[in-house]
Structure 1
Amino acid sequence: MTNAIWFRSDLRIYDNPALIAASESNDPVIAFYFFTPDQHRKHHTGSVKLRFMLENLVELKHDLAKLNIPLVALLASDYGSSVALLKKLCQQHNVRQVFANSEIELNEQIRDHQATRELDKIGSTICFSQDQTILSPQDILTGASKPYRVFTPFKRAWIKTIQKTGLQSLPLPTARPKTNAVSTSAEEILSWEAPVDANQYWKPGSQEAFRRLEEFTATAIERYRDERDHPSLTATSQLSPYLAVGAISVRSCMLQALLANNFEWDSGSQGILTWINELIWREFYKHLSCHYPELSKGAAFNQKTALIPWSRDMEHFTRWKEGLTGFPLVDAGMRQLNTIGWMHNRLRMVTAMFLTKQLFIDWHLGEAYFMQKLIDGDYAANNGGWQWSASTGADSAPYFRVFNPTRQAERFDAKGDFIRHWVPELSQLGPKQIFDPNPFERQTTGYPATMVDHRESVEHVKQAFKMAQAMEAI
């Protein structure tokens, strides 16, 4: 008899609960993976991330080979097709038990319920393990057994729970008895998605992910609180692409940070505690996506904002996408995104708030565009970030809070280094002029005029939110 592990967004052998569960007996283990590009594109996942997924899948194939676990990877159109292929492979390889790490988004849950029903028809079972979050969404609830809607009390409850349960990494799986199954070739796997340039910035695989984690916690994490908002500095972990495909677990990241802070949750290095706080924000958004499946259908978390008459001005949206808004920091962020498939987190907030609070364009458009471009595209984090910026989400920025992109540039790119790199037409301007070039400087450099007046656009947004609230109250 053979056990199977069904890999999805957990492309690693390290700290993988489903793989450990599949390896507990002495039976051989076979690994399955189904690449579903049509389904991913329905979720707005772009070629940059899809390619990175496949490159990490190849690295996983090599790691599994050392454990005598063949990887059978197949191309499927969507989740429904993947379930049909899973059922067929279980029959073909005499698999009686499939192990997988649960995924908490709506379509993924529907797929897994379907897989459970279909495998039951052939006498096979599927066993799910907790992995996408450190703690299960069902473990962090209010005294009234409701989900937390505000981050700070969620964080307190989350830390209190983890202190009780403890936090430990899983052991490495041991080698399995060999099977007759043949692994899918790396060449075939990589043929499923055209090459893109962005992956030159992120070498795939768990070993690279752990190398980055160890380097970050040994050097930059101590300065993280003070430097994380400055995009010209290498001050963030840049582990998000690996977390998004599961090449490293959030549990491993948390353990490494705690180890560096002597397992202190509320004292020690402020840099480390700030990074831990960001990991818990990640947990918060993941839990929300589980508790509120309507978010996956495009709903605003704060239903009182549903009546806001967002614009869908495609000309303005296109200028924002192309980094031609006339606001240098906004344009630098968008050009970074378009070029390398990644954007510094401070700039994700700045560019998102510019689109929603100054151009007043529907946040759904920006959310989808980020997912199409980001190598680290993650539904929960992306949705949470956009709804925070648009003031429609859980514990989001108040509607009257609007970043001034010029002031943000002066504060977080004080010398203009980031702008000079990504908006090269402004590279010869001085440290004051580069944040807001005058009309002559814009004309001579070919840089566009500002799309909107900051103060006027902010006032427009305030009035729109107030009107929507008044209508909702009627």
Structure 2
Amino acid sequence: MKLVWFRNDLRLADNPALRHACADDEPVAALFIVSPTQWRQHKMAPIRQRFMLAQVDVLGHELAALGIPLHLLRVETFAEVPAVLADLCCELGVTRLYANQAIEIDEQRRDHAVTAALAEQEVSCHWLNGCCVLPPGRVLTGSGEMFKVFTPFSRAWLKALDEEGFVIHRAPAPRGEPLPWQPLAERAWVDEALGELTADPRWPVGEVEARRRLNDFLEQAVLDYGETRDFPAIAGTSVLSPYLAAGIISPRQCVAALQQRLGYRPQSNSQPGFVWLNELVWREFYRHLLVLIPTLSMNRPFKPETAALPWSWDPDAFAAWCEGRTGYPIVDAAMRCLNATGWMHNRLRMIVASFLTKDLHIHWRLGEDYFMSQLIDGDLAANNGGWQWAAGTGADAAPYFRVFNPTTQGQRFDPQGEFSRTWVTELADIPPAYVHQPHDWLRLKGRQDYPAPMVDHAVARVRSIEMFRSLEK
């Protein structure tokens, strides 16, 4: 018997662990582990948990149709997994375990402990690359080291992809008679652990849905992506991040579909489709960094010297940012959208992260944790990489003087205020010309229903730059 352990790879197609397990006629079983306590410790958003478990329900049904039973185990923390998994392997008569590699440090430690525990039972573990197009360690500098800077990484990544290519694995064929599947909603212990399991209708699950979104984006928006991706009021992005984070679709499938749509793989900004491909390369870069620098999984900065920065931990200011009460409409709209939907447009993520760290001077770790606690697409590598980039502590050549002006960002990327007025309902009736500097207009109307700006951006910007310059002394 072989056992496939599903984690953040909740799909049948292009799943290396599943493909290798199904390579011969030996019986195959599958496993998913529900770890509520560990998920809470990792700040996993409830909306992400529900999305993931809704996909597990679909996956269990699809595996059952192939004759592969999916076992569900509730194991509160990673520390308990090795012993519980060893018991399951003994019960089922498992001789080989297959899983796609995890890149986060806690997950890697868990997997090392699983390997050791199962070795005592003569169960071999096979860890495969299912989370990246090119596995961490494949893209190296001329001296054989992993990259710490994005632009040379991107060039080397594209070159390596051209040299070796990749294969998209089909879903396995049926392996026996269909099996029954008990929906998660009928399992009392799952409800007790996680509460209501109803998925958000804004985020339908399933590989079919993920491929539909990908194909719609490639047909309708990818050629204009470079011009439209920064405008939150325009449907210019793929909105695939929740499906990539849960592994409902793979990055390889995305690259393959782009290449099929264009008839070629773009290599530079001058070619249509490259800007979106480059976003996938950024995703790869942050995942490779997490493997190269395990301390990124431990709340440590990429640039060690920035640990000495005098960050604020002001709880009232942080709460105002979280709740969208900063007095800057684009910031407030973005945060209210996040709190209501579990998702935020990428340009807005940069704006609000810059505001928290460069205007309020609050530690990026608070923002990183809050995003993880709310995002349906919460992914440690991408979230940490984005926050450290915005904060000036991450993988960037000269970051500390990059301070986004929240007013001009709103004026540039939400010029008519469509997005801002949708989410900041106090400003729903304000003329577009005033939406990003609404306070004079509100005063003239005798209104006090929207807060004044928390800080003077010009003053906060100077202080932010001084904080970083002090490290050079």
Q: TM-score, normalised by structure 2?
A: 0.96
Residue from 161, 184, 187 that aligns with 1:186:
184
The answer for the alignment partner of 1:16 in structure 2 is 15
The answer for the alignment partner of 1:422 in structure 2 is 423
Structure 1 residue 439, shift from structure 2 partner = 4.2
Pair 1:99-2:110 in alignment: no
Structure 1 residue 440, shift from structure 2 partner = 5.6
The answer for the alignment partner of 1:221 in structure 2 is 222
Instruction: Encode CA deviations 1:221-258: one digit per residue, 9 max, x unaligned.
Output: 11111000000011111110011111111110111111
The answer for the alignment partner of 1:456 in structure 2 is 459
Identity %: 44
The answer for the alignment partner of 1:465 in structure 2 is 468
Runs of 4+ in 1 over 6 A off after TM superposition: none
The answer for the alignment partner of 1:149 in structure 2 is 148
The answer for the alignment partner of 2:71 in structure 1 is 72
How do 1:79-228 residues align onto structure 2 when only pairs under 5 Å count? 79-177=78-176, 183=181, 185-187=183-185, 188=187, 191=191, 192-195=193-196, 199-228=200-229
1:69–1:178 contact (8 Å) kept in structure 2: no
The answer for the alignment partner of 1:244 in structure 2 is 245
Aligned partner of residue 432 in structure 1, secondary structure: helix
C-alpha separation in 2, matches of 1:217 and 1:279 = 14
Structure 1 residue 415, shift from structure 2 partner = 0.8
The answer for the alignment partner of 2:392 in structure 1 is 391
C-alpha separation in 2, matches of 1:328 and 1:415 = 12
Describe the shift of the 1:23–1:218 C-alpha distance in structure 2 as closer, same or farther (beyond 3 A): same
Moved more, 182-191 or 356-365: 182-191
Structure 1 residue 264, shift from structure 2 partner = 2.7
The answer for the alignment partner of 1:30 in structure 2 is 29
Describe the shift of the 1:269–1:183 C-alpha distance in structure 2 as closer, same or farther (beyond 3 A): farther
Aligned partner of residue 49 in structure 2, secondary structure: helix
Structure 1 residue 5, shift from structure 2 partner = 0.4
Structure 1 residue 62, shift from structure 2 partner = 1.4
Aligned length: 468
1:28–1:177 contact (8 Å) kept in structure 2: no
C-alpha separation in 1, matches of 2:373 and 2:269 = 39
C-alpha separation in 1, matches of 2:448 and 2:203 = 33
Aligned partner of residue 148 in structure 1, secondary structure: coil
The answer for the alignment partner of 1:433 in structure 2 is 434
Instruction: Encode CA deviations 1:174-210: one digit per residue, 9 max, x unaligned.
Output: 111359x975542228524223787221101111111
Structure 1 residue 304, shift from structure 2 partner = 2.1
Describe the shift of the 1:164–1:50 C-alpha distance in structure 2 as closer, same or farther (beyond 3 A): same
The answer for the alignment partner of 1:288 in structure 2 is 289
The answer for the alignment partner of 1:262 in structure 2 is 263
- The residue type paired with residue 278 of structure 2 is N
1:285–1:381 contact (8 Å) kept in structure 2: yes
C-alpha separation in 2, matches of 1:117 and 1:285 = 28
C-alpha separation in 2, matches of 1:190 and 1:248 = 25
C-alpha separation in 1, matches of 2:334 and 2:303 = 28
Aligned partner of residue 199 in structure 1, secondary structure: coil
Superposition CA RMSD, Å:
1.7
The answer for the alignment partner of 1:376 in structure 2 is 377
Instruction: Encode CA deviations 1:264-286: one digit per residue, 9 max, x unaligned.
Output: 32269845111000000000000
Instruction: Encode CA deviations 1:352-401: one digit per residue, 9 max, x unaligned.
Output: 00000000000000000000000000000000000000010012662111
How do 1:34-45 residues align onto structure 2 when only pairs under 5 Å count? 34-45=33-44
Aligned partner of residue 139 in structure 1, secondary structure: coil
- The residue type paired with residue 217 of structure 1 is L
2:360–2:460 contact (8 Å) kept in structure 1: yes
C-alpha separation in 2, matches of 1:397 and 1:225 = 23
Describe the shift of the 1:130–1:362 C-alpha distance in structure 2 as closer, same or farther (beyond 3 A): same
- The residue type paired with residue 450 of structure 1 is P
Describe the shift of the 1:307–1:343 C-alpha distance in structure 2 as closer, same or farther (beyond 3 A): same
Aligned partner of residue 52 in structure 2, secondary structure: helix
Pair 1:446-2:462 in alignment: no
C-alpha separation in 1, matches of 2:421 and 2:405 = 19
Aligned partner of residue 384 in structure 2, secondary structure: helix
Moved more, 50-59 or 431-440: 431-440
The answer for the alignment partner of 1:343 in structure 2 is 344
- The residue type paired with residue 312 of structure 1 is W
1:327–1:450 contact (8 Å) kept in structure 2: yes
C-alpha separation in 2, matches of 1:172 and 1:343 = 32
C-alpha separation in 1, matches of 2:20 and 2:136 = 21
1:90–1:96 contact (8 Å) kept in structure 2: yes
C-alpha separation in 2, matches of 1:357 and 1:197 = 38
How do 1:327-366 residues align onto structure 2 when only pairs under 5 Å count? 327-366=328-367
C-alpha separation in 1, matches of 2:429 and 2:410 = 17
Structure 1 residue 220, shift from structure 2 partner = 1.1
Moved more, 249-258 or 327-336: 249-258
1:73–1:184 contact (8 Å) kept in structure 2: no
